[in-house]
Amino acid sequence: MKVSELMQERKVEPNYEGWVTNDDYVFAIDTSMGKGAATNDGDYVVVEMGIAGLDSQMNPVTQDKQYIRSGQNTMKTGTQRSFSVTGDRYAGDPAQDFCLSHKMKYGTGNNVVVNYIYFNILNGKGERGQVSVIVNSDGSGNAGESSAVDIEFKKIGSNPTEYTYEAEAAAQVASETTQKSTK
pLDDT digits (tens, 9 = 90+) for 58-78: 999 999 999 999 999 999 999
- Give the distance between the most distant pair of CA atoms in the chain: 75
Residue 12 CA to residue 165 CA, distance in Å, equals: 8
37 phi, psi to nearest 5 deg: -70, 160
Nearest to 94 by CA among 39, 56, 145, 142: 39
- 10-residue stretch averages of pLDDT, the chain, 183 residues long: 94 96 96 72 95 94 94 93 97 96 92 96 97 94 92 95 80 51 51
pLDDT at 42: 94
Residue 8 CA to residue 28 CA, distance in Å, equals: 15
Residue 175 CA to residue 46 CA, distance in Å, equals: 19
pLDDT at 37: 53
Residue 46 CA to residue 97 CA, distance in Å, equals: 12
Check if the beta carbon of residue 57 is closer than 8 Å to that of residue 83: yes
pLDDT at 33: 77
pLDDT at 41: 93
Q: Any alpha helices (H) in the chain, and if so which ranges?
A: 3-7, 94-99, 102-106, 167-182
pLDDT at 110: 87
Residue 117 CA to residue 106 CA, distance in Å, equals: 24
Structure letter (DSSP) for residue 2: B
Tell me the pTM.
0.86
